[in-house]
Every structure is written in C-alpha cells, then in structure tokens.
Amino acid sequence: MIGRQVFYEGRVQGVGFRYTVRQLAKGFDVVGWVRNLVDGRVEVQVSGEPDEVNEFLTAIRESELAGFIKAEQEHQIAPQTSGGGFQIQM
C-alpha cells in the first residue's frame, strides 16, 4: 500500500473537479478523498496498491480536467488504512 497527497492548481474549483475525481476513483481500487482549499487549490489524498494509485492519478491528468490543471504537487504520505471508498470532503 502507498499513499499520495496531490495539490492541483489552476481553474480547479467551480468546474466539477471534485465530482469528476470521485467518479474516476470508482474505476480503481483506491480509498481517499478530495476537497477544495480556501486558497483555490484542490487537494486529493489517495491510498491503495502502487499500480492502482498511479493509474488513478494518471487518469485524472488525462481526463477532461487536464485543461483546468496548471500545476500539481505530489507528496508521499502514509497510506490510509481505515475507512472505505473515495469521498468528497466539504
């Protein structure tokens, strides 16, 4: 299991970013969440097997969201071991 925290910058709020990320997550064996930040960025925290996490993050980059993303910062974090599914945090 691995964990990743990714911050997306650009026009990533008000365009359905969180909902699209949640929908994409349904196609992968990952757990985690996505939320808007007050500074205009979107944060994603995701955990799972390395291939699943990497393919999920690639799917975000290659989705219709790509045109809204101007920069992203990815960090390793401890994998989430409790809870299930992928949620939108408010």
Q: Among all residues, which ones are annotated catalytic?
A: 18, 36
Give the whole-angstrom CA distance, residue 74 versus residue 5.
6
Task: Give the span between the Cα atoms of 4 and 68, in whole angstroms.
Answer: 21
d(CA 90, CA 88): 6
Provide the terminal-to-terminal Cα distance of the chain, rounded to the nearest Å: 26
